[in-house]
Chain A
Amino acid sequence: MSAVIDDHGHATDHAHGPAKGLMRWVLTTNHKDIGTLYLWFAFSMFLLGGSFAMVIRAELFQPGLQIVQPEFFNQMTTMHGLVMVFGAVMPAFVGLANWMVPLMIGAPDMALPRMNNFSFWLLPAAFILLVSTLFTPGGGPNFGWTFYAPLSTTYAPESVTFFIFAIHLMGISSIMGAINVIATILNLRAPGMTLMKMPLFVWTWLITAFLLIAVMPVLAGCVTMMLMDIHFGTSFFSAAGGGDPVLFQHVFWFFGHPEVYIMILPAFGAVSSIIPTFSRKPLFGYTSMVYATASIAFLSFIVWAHHMFVVGIPLVGELFFMYATLLIAVPTGVKVFNWASTMWQGSLTFETPMLFAVAFVILFSIGGFSGLMLAIAPADFQYQDTYFVVAHFHYVLVPGAIFGIFASAYYWMPKWTGHMYDETLGKLHFWLSFIGMNMAFFPMHFVGLAGMPRRIPDYNLQFADFNMVSSIGAFMFGATQIFFLFIVIKTIRGGEPAPAKPWDGAEGLEWSIPSPAPYHTFTTPPEVK
């Protein structure tokens, strides 16, 4: 290789530790700093989106209108979804990727460190734009997080324009973040780290990044069509001009379905590191895990219309999308089987990360099963737009994505902070979350099957008891997350010093460096056997 290296300049570049003060965070190009920023941002959005959910559950505590008006209720359901999807879950996984991918593959940093900073800071900008609309005269977006036209075009409040540009900023951020992850994984692996030696978290993120680059531009196209319909007289979603409102749903769900895998695949990867660690056994079926992830990603592009079974798509479409959707159960089943087999005859211990990971496997499977029920088109005609759907996707997102994030946070927190978290408090956090979340979402299956519609601030008296149980569970789950904040701060401030490898069964390059991880790691790449 012929590149010229200015050794002197290089030395000064790496001599610096973290800069002092606030500007460290604003100007940083360090993957650990940026990972930390992403994680804190995601957590604050999690609390914000959670507080919107608390408003929803408070209103639904009893039948009748008590606390908020329907107009504001709609804004709460919309903003809860948007903030949780784009503000909490996605940035949390990007934060984990920022912290862990370079450490796992022996890279000095992300491939494009300045762009990395740009990707992060666009997110607060986007959410300031989005959330501030709640305080404007017409109110915030009120058309649901799926923002179907023409509710989001012809009948939308003025804030929809701000919403559109906020989505654009989030999309730019996600695309740049994903490009960075791919370039890092493909180009910065340590010598000897072949693709099939990569930890599964790296694999799942590689595939997630591909999904992001493939579908975020489609979302951008979708909101651009909305913008043009609203402000420049086009008729993409208006039949009067030859367009079609259903076109919106096709474009949106072409983005939307891969999007749900974007929110779960990195959790699959993290759990695939955590379960072997606490089972003290290598992961069962590594290769099949990689292929299963790739299959899920492929299938995610040809199942989108299962979100649209009742809009009147042709019979052949119903059948195609139904069978394609049911197929997803196969690679997902492979994964669940592999996690269970990894635990089989292992020397199991149940530290907090493992508790979250095991709960992930079981509860995510429940969400998967209700997904199978929803995938069957004739059955979906009954479930469509009921609380059963809400129960389904909260089971894959809360004990799926979010438990995956909690498991990862406890698992790698010793590496990040240099301290062990308090195991008793961690377990308490787990059990309160576990009970609260099941209390909140399990009854939704029942009220949904009995016919309670989504997105309505009032309901029939027959649903009263289950809704009260749901609300109590939701309050419990919500309050527990403040407790998580306390645990994290306590761990940062002190606690038992963490060794380089705090988990005796853990494997991977991230455990070969001290805890807390030094500001710069792997400036010369390690050799991987």
Chain B
Amino acid sequence: MATHEHYYVPAQSKWPIIATVGMFVTVLGLATWFNDLKAARPESHGPLIFFIGSLLLAYMLFGWFGTVIKESRGGLYSAQMDRSFRWGMSWFIFSEVMFFIAFFGALFYVRHVSGPALGGEGAKGIAHMLWPNFQFTWPLLNNPDSKLFPPPKEVISPWGLPLLNTVLLVSSSVTVTIAHHALKKGHRGALKIWLAITVLLGCAFLGFQAEEYMHAYQELGLTLGSGIYGATFFMLTGFHGAHVTIGTIILFVMLMRIMRGHFDNEHQFGFEAASWYWHFVDVVWIGLFVFVYVL
């Protein structure tokens, strides 16, 4: 059967154990750092440990992906291997979707179940006795305990930067698709230009989001600590922003590979995986724009 050529099983590899050690050191550093910050201990080794771990992880990412690229360019991967990568990437994106669902779920739950109950509505409105003066509104501009969690003066309007960012990100999904078509047709020049535009759109998005965050923190008093609105707002948009950052880096790496002549009509999974990831990030943003900013 033609679909079952010899499957490439790599020999021993040092990268996974480097990845493990890197990850262990990174989280050890983070946990130490966070605990020292909280206990206000003046001298913490956390940042240093974290930095060493991050260096190891960066080294691992270069090395591991470098090995895979080399093997792929060496023709070691069959079509069956390609399918394994595709399944792997698809299920990885599914796991990412589930991660965001946890935070969206928290948002919906607070807005429609626990928030109204805390404001005295419905069968479980007895929770209102905790803070009798609390009224539940969304966006939440008054918290049950406003001393502990100072509420924001105002929240971000969806029709300024967020709308602009929506346009940018949706356009970038279009440009990456145009780039993909150019790759399939062998139009290398167009491919480079459209992919470069996609990377720039990603960077522009991140720049505007940084501006939005500064505006929120400095002028609106909307912070992580300003009650459940700030918590859900920053966790959802923040994790999304982190994913845009990763996606932009991945697309940039793809651009570098294309500059070096990688990928052709048949061997392009790396590029496709990057574009899948980018579309995923785009779809999450649409959800964010609707449920976090507009509604």
Contacts and interface: CB of A to CB of B under 8 A. Distances in A.
Contacts of A243: 110, 114, 227-228, 231
B83 interface: yes
A1 B106 contact: no
A9 B6 contact: no
Interface stretch (B32-40, B189-197, B245-253, B282-290): B32-40
A186 B103 contact: no
B224 A29 contact: no
B87 A183 contact: yes
- Looking at chain A's contact residues, is the secondary structure mostly helix, strand, loop, or mixed? helix
A187 B80 contact: yes
Interface string A230-243: 11111110111111
Interface in B51-104: 64, 74-85, 87-88, 91-92, 94-96, 98-99, 101-103
B3 A182 contact: no
A179 B91 contact: yes
B75 A3 contact: yes
A138 to B, nearest CB: 9
Given A6-B74, A247-B110, A113 B9 contact: yes
A235 B30 CA distance: 21
B106 A251 contact: yes
Contact of B95 (A5, A164, A175, A314): A175
Interface string A296-318: 00000000000000001011000
Interface string A123-165: 0010011000000000000000000000000000010011011
B102 A241 contact: no
B43 interface: no
Nearest to A524: B6
A338 interface: no
A29 B88 contact: no
Interface in A159-207: 161-162, 164-166, 168-169, 172, 175, 178-180, 182-184, 186-188, 190-191
A3 to B, nearest CB: 4
B110 A27 contact: no
Contacts of A507: none
Contact of B7 (A188, A215, A227): A188
B145 interface: yes
Contacts of B295: none
Given A183-B84, A241-B231, A235 B149 contact: yes
Interface stretch (A11-19, A357-365, A375-383): A11-19
B201 interface: no
A525 B3 CA distance: 11
B205 interface: no
Contacts of A418: none
B149 A241 contact: yes
Interface stretch (B21-29, B163-171, B273-281): B21-29
Contact of B87 (A186, A216, A234): A186
A233 B130 contact: no
A3 B78 CA distance: 5
B94 A213 contact: yes
Nearest to B123: A314
Interface stretch (A217-225, A281-289, A397-405): A217-225
A218 B84 CA distance: 25
Contacts of B206: none
Given A6-B76, A217-B95, A108 B9 contact: yes
Interface in A304-348: 312, 314-315
Interface stretch (B10-18, B179-187, B212-220): B10-18
Contacts of A236: 106, 228, 231-232
Interface of B: 1-17, 19-21, 23-24, 27-28, 30-31, 34-35, 37-39, 64, 74-85, 87-88, 91-92, 94-96, 98-99, 101-103, 105-106, 109-110, 113-115, 118, 122-124, 127, 130-131, 136, 140, 143-145, 148-149, 223-225, 227-232, 234-235, 266
Please name the 10 residue pairs, one residue from A and one from B, whose CB atoms are nearest each other, closest first.
A221-B102, A233-B225, A244-B114, A242-B228, A241-B149, A240-B145, A234-B231, A4-B75, A118-B16, A217-B99
18 contacts: A9-B76, A10-B6, A27-B12, A114-B15, A161-B34, A165-B28, A216-B95, A216-B98, A221-B101, A228-B235, A233-B223, A233-B224, A235-B149, A235-B231, A238-B149, A241-B227, A242-B110, A243-B228
Given A188-B7, A225-B102, 20 more contacts: A1-B2, A5-B6, A28-B12, A114-B16, A122-B20, A165-B27, A190-B4, A214-B94, A235-B225, A236-B228, A238-B148, A239-B130, A241-B144, A241-B149, A241-B227, A242-B110, A242-B115, A242-B228, A243-B231, A244-B118
